[in-house]
């Protein structure tokens, strides 16, 4: 009996020891580390991307195991700036506490390789060309742009030959710089006025110079590229109709690197068969009153806007320059509660992104949205490019400073759009309007003249070839008031007769795009 008891306990001890040995086994590259790197890191840490070294192979990662554990523990990598708060975002790159422990344990164990497991992620060694996959259309600059070794920043605008096939809509755009170190940012515009083409034709070289070209920002996630930004398609229910007469203008902000460089950018365009089913507004919060004295550690910027209808926030894009340190966007709801939409307390110019809310954020009519920024122009700021610090003012140059945030919002009720005279009110501008296939004037394939002519024919009650404010109101479903329409008409009533003829109505249609 005694021997049985001893054997029983001995077996239990052995089993317990074996179980603890399994639990305590260190993580290995193939079973634990490679899946983590594939998920969070190798989009940038591979040949041809912005990261300084690759993490595709065991040898790549093993020689940096301690560095990986240390830099992730202090959350310097992977680059994800928003703090945890009231909302969450799609594609968050924030490592979990469990993932941080795995990296630390792997480094402390000497970075064991382990055996390759069936089904483990295999990452190709070739450079990552497109984050969103092969585009439907590639648009590359016809010639490289020459950038001198030093001097002021350049703003070059190039018209790209975008033709959208019949029945297609723009769903996503991905910008790929040829020489990332010289591209401060890139912005895409739609110009339906013809002015961009006129300015381009007036210069002998490719493109023309201007800080801001004619036209309007593309809506939502289509518009802007900055270092560190991940391209994203438009959200469900959204796509961009492309007018036949529109020009796609690529606005490049280029800065010298200390040696002569060239830049030959490529834009990838992705189409969809699905027309938009809802509208998209762009809300710009911006404070241009920036004049920061040397040594000022707490220069604050602020801007506010009150929403006139019920909206849902889809994306948010913050932007500051080198000495920005904190940026926060909050929404004060009509019931007095406040929701933080974005909070970054460790701004880094090199890691900017457009953030898409995991779930659209409901913002009722009357919500006050506020942008707050903090800028540090002292010698204690390690990001300050000037030593000693210099006075910094608002401006587009890299040595200037900015404080802004773009929010993309969709209306809860599409019928609320009738409250907007034309395409905007205050800081809200309509970037996408769904087509109404029942009428020619809202068909995205129709040109502005055809749309204006169709609307005039339908709404011209007295058949005099002109539209009065009352006729326009009737044609729009009796929703803006006659007074609102009369006020909006003054911009387009060139002959001052209180009516819009077909040419004046065409100008109004173009302004609503």
Closest CA to 151 of 263, 258, 251: 258
Same domain membership, residue 267 and residue 178: yes
Where is the domain boundary, 128, 153, 176? Answer: 128
In this structure, are 289 and 410 located in the same domain? yes
The answer to whether residues 233 and 172 touch, using CB atoms and an 8 Å cutoff, is yes
Question: What b/e string do you get for 256-279 counting C-beta neighbours within 10 Å, with b at 16 or more?
Answer: beeeebebebbbbbbbbeebbebb
Residues linked to residue 146 through DSSP beta bridges, in sequence order: 262
Domain boundary among 272, 301, 322: 272
**Residue 200 and residue 299 in one domain:** no
pLDDT of residue 425: 54
Residue 143 lies in a domain: yes
Tell whether the model's pLDDT for residue 148 goes beyond 60.
Answer: yes
User: Could you tell me the pLDDT band of residue 17, with boundaries at 50, 70 and 90?
Assistant: very low
C-alpha distances in Å from residue 170, one per residue of 140, 157, 269, 281, 454:
17, 21, 7, 17, 25
Same domain, 290 and 415: yes
Q: What does pLDDT average to over the chain?
A: 85
Which is more confident, 463 or 339?
339
* Within a domain: 7: no
The reply to whether 416 and 310 lie within a common domain is yes
Same domain assignment for residues 321 and 266 = no
pLDDT attached to residue 127? 62
Per-residue buried b or exposed e for 318-346, using 16+ beta carbons within 10 Å of the residue's own CB: bbbbbbbbbbbbbbbeeeeeebebbbbee
Instruction: Kindly report, residue by residue over 467-508, the tens digit of the pLDDT.
Output: 888 888 777 766 678 887 888 888 788 888 888 888 888 888
> In angstroms, rounded to a whole number, what is the distance separating the alpha carbons of residues 263 and 254?
9
Which of 66, 96, 128 terminates a domain? The answer is 128
Query: Does one domain contain both 40 and 167?
Result: no
Question: Hey, which residues does 371 pair with through a beta bridge?
Answer: 303, 329
The verdict on 453 and 328 lying in the same domain is no
User: Residue 388, preceding bond cis, omega within 30 degrees?
Assistant: yes
Answer for the pair 37, 121: CB distance below 8 angstroms, yes or no. no
Has residue 10 been placed in a domain?
no
In a domain, 18, yes or no: no
Give the integer Cα–Cα distance in Å for 76 and 70. 9
Closest CA to 26 of 153, 114, 91: 114
Of 452, 361, 368, which is closest to residue 410 (Cα–Cα)? Answer: 361
Do the domain assignments include residue 4?
no
Residues 251 and 173 in one domain: yes
Could you tell me if 124 and 154 lie in one domain?
A: no
Residue 259 lies in a domain: yes
Based on the fold, state whether residues 492 and 354 are members of the same structural domain.
no
Task: Give the domain extent around 179.
Answer: 137-272
Q: How many domains does the chain contain in total?
A: 4
Q: Which pTM does this prediction carry?
A: 0.73
Q: What is the pLDDT of residues 397-439, one digit of tens each?
A: 778 999 999 999 999 998 887 665 444 456 888 888 887 643 3
């Amino acid at each position: 009996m005694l021997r049985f008891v001893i054997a029983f306990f001995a077996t239990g001890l052995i089993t317990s020891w074996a179980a603890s040995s399994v639990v305590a086994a260190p993580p290995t590259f193939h079973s634990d580390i490679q899946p983590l790197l594939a998920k969070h890191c190798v989009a940038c840490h591979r040949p041809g991307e912005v990261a300084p070294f690759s993490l595709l192979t065991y040898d790549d990662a093993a020689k940096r195991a301690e560095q990986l554990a240390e830099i992730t523990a202090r959350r310097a990598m992977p680059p994800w700036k928003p703090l945890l708060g009231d909302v969450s975002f799609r594609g968050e790159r924030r490592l979990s506490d469990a993932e941080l422990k795995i990296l630390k344990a792997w480094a402390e164990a000497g970075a064991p390789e382990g055996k390759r497991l069936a089904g483990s992620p295999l990452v190709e060694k070739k450079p990552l060309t497109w984050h969103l996959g092969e585009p439907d259309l590639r648009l590359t600059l016809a010639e490289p742009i020459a950038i001198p070794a030093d001097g002021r920043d350049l703003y070059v605008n190039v018209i790209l030959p975008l033709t959208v096939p019949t029945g297609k809509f723009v769903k996503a755009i991905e910008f790929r710089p040829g020489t990332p170190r010289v591209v401060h940012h890139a912005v895409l515009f739609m110009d339906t006025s013809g002015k961009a083409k006129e300015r381009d034709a007036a210069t002998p070289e490719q493109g023309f110079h201007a800080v801001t070209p004619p036209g309007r920002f593309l809506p939502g996630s289509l518009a802007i590229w900055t270092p560190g930004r991940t391209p994203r398609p438009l959200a469900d229910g959204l796509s961009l109709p492309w007018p036949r007469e529109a020009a796609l203008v690529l606005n490049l902000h280029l800065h010298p690197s200390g040696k002569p460089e060239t830049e030959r950018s490529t834009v990838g365009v992705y189409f969809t068969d699905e027309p938009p089913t809802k509208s998209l507004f762009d809300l710009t919060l911006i404070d241009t009153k920036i004049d920061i004295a040397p040594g000022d550690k707490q220069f604050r910027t602020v801007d506010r806007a009150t929403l006139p209808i019920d909206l849902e926030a889809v994306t948010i894009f913050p932007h500051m320059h080198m000495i920005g340190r904190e940026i926060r966007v909050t929404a004060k709801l009509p019931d007095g509660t406040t929701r933080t939409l974005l909070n970054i307390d460790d701004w880094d110019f090199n890691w900017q992104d457009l953030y898409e809310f995991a779930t659209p954020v409901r913002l009722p009519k009357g919500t006050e949205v506020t942008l707050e920024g903090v800028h540090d122009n002292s010698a204690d700021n390690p990001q300050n490019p000037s030593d000693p610090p210099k006075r910094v003012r608002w401006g587009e140059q890299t040595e200037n400073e900015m404080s802004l945030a773009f929010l993309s919002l969709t209306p809860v009720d599409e019928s609320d759009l009738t409250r907007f005279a034309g395409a905007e009110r205050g800081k809200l501008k309509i970037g996408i309007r769904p087509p109404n296939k029942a009428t020619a004037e809202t068909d995205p394939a129709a040109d502005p003249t055809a749309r204006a002519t169709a609307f005039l024919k339908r709404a011209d009650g007295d058949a005099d070839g002109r539209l009065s404010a009352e006729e326009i109101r009737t044609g729009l479903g009796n929703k803006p008031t006659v007074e609102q329409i009369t006020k909006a008409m003054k911009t387009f009533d060139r002959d001052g007769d209180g009516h819009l003829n077909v040419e004046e109505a065409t100008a109004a249609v173009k302004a609503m795009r």
